[in-house]
Structures are given as structure tokens and as C-alpha cells.
Amino acid sequence: MAENVVVPTDIILAPNEYGHSAFEHVDQLDFLNDSDGGLPFFHRVESSEVVYQPRRKKAKMVGKYLVGDLLGEGSYGKVKEVIDTVTLCRRAVKILKKRKLRKIPNGEQNVLREIQLLKRLHHKHVVFLDDVIFNDEKQKMYIFMEYCVCELQEMLESAQDKKFPIFQAHYYFKQLVEGLIFLHSRGIVHKDIKPGNLLLARDETLKITDFGVAEEIALHAFDDTCHTSQGSPAFQPPEIANGEDSFPGFKVDVWSSGVTLYNMTTGKYPYDGDNIYKLFNNISKGTYTIPDSIDSVLTNLLHGMLAFTPDKRMSIEQVQLHDWVRKRHPRSLDYVKFPPFKEGLDKHHSMSVMQYLDDLHCPEEEECDEYEEDFHIQQNNGKKPQNDVDDTPIPDPKHKKRKTKSGLLSSCKQS
Ligand SMILES: Nc1ncnc2c1ncn2[C@@H]1O[C@H](COP(=O)(O)OP(=O)(O)OP(=O)(O)O)[C@@H](O)[C@H]1O
């Protein structure tokens, strides 16, 4: 009978922090049958001998972009962090599967419309589209955009009472108005303005995103009349809630910006309802209240933006000239900061591509050996050297890494 063994419980039970069992890394588990062919037993292993190693993240390139970690997921697909290996700019990529798009009503059409629009829109407050790559073989589409830290919605959710202090709401709202003035000047109706479609760059510049349901008014159109809307229900104006066939487009964006401002300053919505029918019913009645905590100047602006009929509603230019927008608002200490990334693990929103760069440029030991051998073959005019007669100096590791860089770049998984 073999010696009695103690198996550390952390080996047996606990998958490690990287989600796999220690046995994937440590080869000590040895099943042996005793002489009677009875139960298998284990070799003794001390907990201190167990080495947890994070699984090495495999680098993946899409064109010139090195792909990093997941940033988030929307109904259309995943968004990952990337780095442009030429400009070294930090970017985000939306990865869309054609199969999934076909299942979403107007999915493909919305995405293509968004790409067409964004390609032509260059403004400080509109998310910048860097590149689009199609992979026909994988039936995937990659949309590369400027990297942003978070959505305004995420910030609101992390804030006490789900609202911003007035000076902070003012700071973001002013930028939203500037972005909308630009869009409207280009004949674009966004149609889905809401905190979830407003991103913040690291320097807190606001970026309007998600042009999937936006509409471009025809160049020679008589006015901004629109006929369709697919925006988020809580942000829709009465003319849409009432199901009108046509409505002035730009005033839809004014209304939804008014709801956004209401939400940022009160933590609530002017209209709500348990379901879309009740919500639209409430919107179409046109009765809402503004909490007493809101001062009279802001109340005046909100009433102007949430006017029931589009012709009574302010235009975005009037909004920009309103006293509340032009006024300087004193900073207060209850400033809402960017919420930490990955459930509190990373409050600095650090770049996730570093580990993948590591995979690209610092090969694992066995890879090093392969490249070392390649190096010798190159030095010997294509012949494999005999170790005992070879007097080629072993390349210094730094040199070796530099030499292998291009090889690694091309060997890494391409999409
Ligand atoms: N440019 C970006 N930079 C950084 N993160 C981004 C960027 N764009 C999107 N994200 C992140 O990816 C997540 C998914 O974004 P996406 O636009 O696909 O969906 P969504 O707008 O949140 O939802 P839906 O498309 O369902 O309305 C967002 O919640 C956000 O956290």
C-alpha cells in the first residue's frame, strides 16, 4: 500500500483566479492504482509548491490593430480595446457578426448607415471613426473608433441619487449642444440622444455616438420632416408617442436632449410608465413636473426644450443662447468621477493591450529556442549548424528578441 498522502484542498477544489484549475499548470497529479487495483491516490504536494501562472494572453491582430480586452457589449456586438500599431493611438473596435445583424430588425442597414455617416462627420463632440475592416471569410465587421472611458449613463448610475451636480451636468450639456449644432448644420438628425449614447473621452470631452437610427435630411429637402423613429422610448417626444406620420426631425433631438438634461440634473425622467404603452400614453398627455430643487433658470430651459408641440419647442440654437447654458456654474465638491473599470478592479482604466504586446514581443522560452535555431540557420546560409563545431556566437537575448519581432508579428493570429 502506498504512503498516505495529503492533498492540499486548494489544489483539488479551487479553480484559480484565472478560471482554470491548478492542474493545468502543475503536473503533480499522478493517479496510481494500488496493488489491489483499488482507488487511485495522489502524490504529496505542498501548497507552497503550487505555482499559479496566469494563462498567457494570445495576441490577435486585425489589420494594423492589436486587440486588447473586452470593453463592453451592446445588442449589436462586442466592443474591445485596441491599439493602432502604426500611430500607437488607443482605439475601441466594435465587432459585428453578420449572422447576428441579420437577426436584428434593420440591423445591417443601421450599421451601414452609421458607418456612412460617421465617415463624413469630423467634430470634437462626435465619436471619431478611424477605420472599418470587413472579413468576408469570418463574416465579421470591425468598426474602429476613438477610445472613450465610459458612457454618461454609467457615470450617472455610479452617482449618488443617479444625478450630477449642476456644474457637471452643465459641462456635459454644453458639449452636447455644440455637437448637435454641428450635426444639424450637416442635416443629420440623431434621433436617439440619451446618456447611454454619449461617451466621455479621458479628458471628459463628450462624444455623441450610436448613429444607427440617425437620418440624413436630403440636401435639397424643403425642411427637416422625418417619417420614422426607432429611438429609445423614454426619450421620445409627444409627436412620436402619438404615432404621427411626419414630424420635424431637429426638434426630436431637442426634446431628447431636454430629457437627458432633466435626467442628469434630477436623477429622474419627466415621463415614465411600467411599459411602453403607459409611457407613451403619459408622454402624449403632456403633463410633467420639475422638482423644486431645480432653479428657475434651468426650469425655464427645461420647459422650453420639453414644449409639447414642436413649433413651440426651442431650436438647438436657442438652447445654446439660453441664460442657463451661457452662465458659469460654480464647481462643487460632489463631483462624480469616472466609475472604475471591471467591477472596481481598475479605477485608472489602464490600457489592456500591454499583456498582448508582451505576447507579441516577448516570446515564451520554447519560442525563443525556435527563433534561436532559425537564427543559426540564417547565419549558416540555410544549413542547420552542428553544435560542437558551430562557433557562431549565441545572440544576445535583446538582439534575439528584436530579430524575432517581425516573425512574431506575422505569426500572430490574423483576422
Ligand atoms: N468608443 C468606445 N470606447 C470605449 N468603450 C466603448 C466605445 N463604444 C462603446 N463602448 C463600450 O462598449 C459597450 C457597448 O457599446 P455599444 O455601442 O455596442 O452598445 P450600447 O450602445 O451600449 O448598447 P446598444 O447598442 O444595445 O444600444 C458600451 O456600453 C461601452 O461601455
Q: What are the domain boundaries of the chain?
A: 60-147, 150-326
What does the alpha-carbon distance between residue 201 and residue 222 come to, in Å, rounded to a whole number?
37
* Atom nearest to 79 CA in ligand 1: 12
Check residue 54 and give its pLDDT: 62
Give, for ligand 1, the residue of 78, 147, 151 to mutate: max count of ligand atoms closer than 8 Å to Cβ. 151
Q: Is 139 left (phi over 0), alpha (psi -120 to 50) or beta?
A: left
Confidence check: pLDDT of 248 > 80: yes
pLDDT level of residue 42 (50, 70, 90 thresholds)? low
Measuring from atom 17 of ligand 1, which residue has the nearest CA? Answer: 74
Q: What is the pLDDT of residue 104?
A: 87
Q: How far is the CA of 286 from the centre of ligand 1 (A)?
A: 32
60 is in an annotated binding site: no
Q: Where are the alpha helices (DSSP H) in 70-159?
A: 98-103, 107-120, 152-158
Pick 138 or 368 by higher pLDDT.
138
Amino acid (1-letter code) at residue 344: G
Atom of ligand 1 nearest to the CA of 212: 25
User: Separation of 74 CA from ligand 1 center, angstroms?
Assistant: 6
**Residue 226, SS3?**
strand
From residue 340, alpha-carbon distances to 24, 155, 163, 336 in Å are 31, 10, 17, 12
CATH (residue range 60-147) = 3.30.200.20
pLDDT of 284 strictly over 90: yes
Given a cut of 50, whether residue 394 has pLDDT beyond it is: no
- Residue matched to cell numbers 448644420: 185
- 320, exposed or middle or buried, with CB in 10 Å at 0-12, 13-18, 19+? middle
Q: Ligand 1 atom 19: the closest Cα is on which residue?
A: 74
**Average pLDDT value for residue range 192-201:** 97
Compute the distance between CA of residue 56 and CA of residue 36 in angstroms, rounded to an integer: 42
Q: What percent of the chain has pLDDT over 90?
A: 56
Tell me the three state secondary structure of residue 358.
helix
Distance CA 190, CA 214 (A): 4
Confidence of residue 105 (pLDDT cuts 50, 70, 90): confident
Which amino acid, 410?
A: S
For domain 150-326, give its CATH number from 3.40.1190.20, 3.30.60.50, 3.40.630.30, 1.10.510.10.
Answer: 1.10.510.10
Q: How many angstroms does the Cα of residue 209 sit away from the middle of ligand 1?
A: 9
| pLDDT at residue 408 is higher than 50 | no
Evaluate if residue 10 carries a pLDDT over 60: no
Nearest protein CA to atom 25 of ligand 1, as residue: 74
Ligand 1, residue 150: give the atom nearest the CA.
31
- If one compares 275 and 402, the residue with the highest pLDDT of the two is 275
Name the band, by pLDDT with cuts 50, 70 and 90, for residue 378: low
DSSP state, 269? Answer: -
Tell me the β-bridge partners of 15: 21
> Binning pLDDT at 50, 70 and 90, where does residue 4 land?
very low
**Atom in ligand 1 nearest the alpha carbon of residue 127:** 1
What cell does 137 get? 471569410
Of the chain, the end-to-end C-alpha distance in Å amounts to 55
Ligand 1 centroid to Cα of residue 76, in Å, is 9
> Are the C-beta atoms of 2 and 34 separated by less than 8 Å?
yes
CA–CA gap between residue 72 and residue 272 (Å, rounded): 27
Section 22-28 average pLDDT: 37
What value does the mean pLDDT take over residues 363-369? 60
pTM check: above 0.80: no
The answer for residues whose C-beta is within 8 angstroms of residue 404's C-beta and 6 or more apart is: 363, 367, 368, 371, 374
Nearest CA to ligand 1 atom 18: 74
Of these ranges, 17-31, 48-62, 258-272, 354-368, the one predicted with the greatest mean pLDDT is 258-272
pLDDT digits (tens, 9 = 90+) for 161-171: 999 999 999 99
In angstroms, what is the span from residue 72 Cα to ligand 1's centroid?
A: 6
Q: Is 192 a catalytic residue?
A: yes
Q: Name all residues whose Cβ lies below 6 A of ligand 1.
A: 71-76, 79, 92, 94, 127, 145-148, 151, 196, 199, 210
CA-nearest residue, atom 4 of ligand 1: 148
Out of 67, 71, 114, mutate this one to test ligand 1's pocket (max ligand atoms within 8 Å of CB): namely 71
Q: How far is the CA of 284 from the centre of ligand 1 (A)?
A: 30
Which among 323, 279, 315, 318 is positioned nearest to 299, based on CA atoms?
323
Tens of pLDDT, residue by residue over 297-347, are 999 999 999 999 999 999 999 999 999 999 999 999 889 999 887 666 677
- Which atom of ligand 1 lies nearest, measured to the CA of 146? 1
Return the beta strands (E) in 37-76 as ranges.
60-62, 65-73
Q: Whose CA is nearest to atom 12 of ligand 1?
A: 72
Q: Is the pLDDT of residue 29 over 80?
A: no
On the question of pLDDT at 399 being above 70, the answer is no
Best residue among 73, 79, 350 to mutate for probing ligand 1's pocket (most ligand atoms within 8 Å of CB) is 79
Taking the CA atoms of residue 265, residue 269, residue 270 and residue 271 in that order, the dihedral angle to the nearest 10 degrees is 180
10, 27, 192, 346: the active-site residue: 192
